[in-house]
Structure 1
Amino acid sequence: CHAFDGFIVSTSANPAGLAPAHSLQETTQYFQQQLHYLNGDLGLSQQPSRILDAESGAVIRA
């Protein structure tokens, strides 16, 4: 966030290679106190989201 000078937001909450977290409790098990959390609805998708470069559209993580 400091290098970007703003918030970085992702709809995924899992380290690469691990199953996506489906609750705040699962997310905090992965990341403990390393992140700030905002608890809210997660939607209905059972698939992990992709992360794209906003300028080029290149897939950063699928």
Structure 2
Amino acid sequence: MKIIVNAKPHEVSASDLQSALRELGFACSSVATALNGTFIARGQRAEVQLAEGDQLEVLAPMQGG
């Protein structure tokens, strides 16, 4: 199915958020996720089902000084 990830279209075969993150290379647990503008906690990702056209934002922490 086609979803939008960080404003870019992607094709994924996964049906849930956790699997999609692995498929897209975001397996690191330290990322924050929002699906269609709603924050999704790490523990809920396996339960959240994706649909065609969903918009996913994945944010990784930045280090600096």
TM-score (norm 1): 0.28
Q: Whose helix proportion is higher, 1 or 2?
A: 2
- Rg larger for: 1
Q: Whose strand proportion is higher, 1 or 2?
A: 2
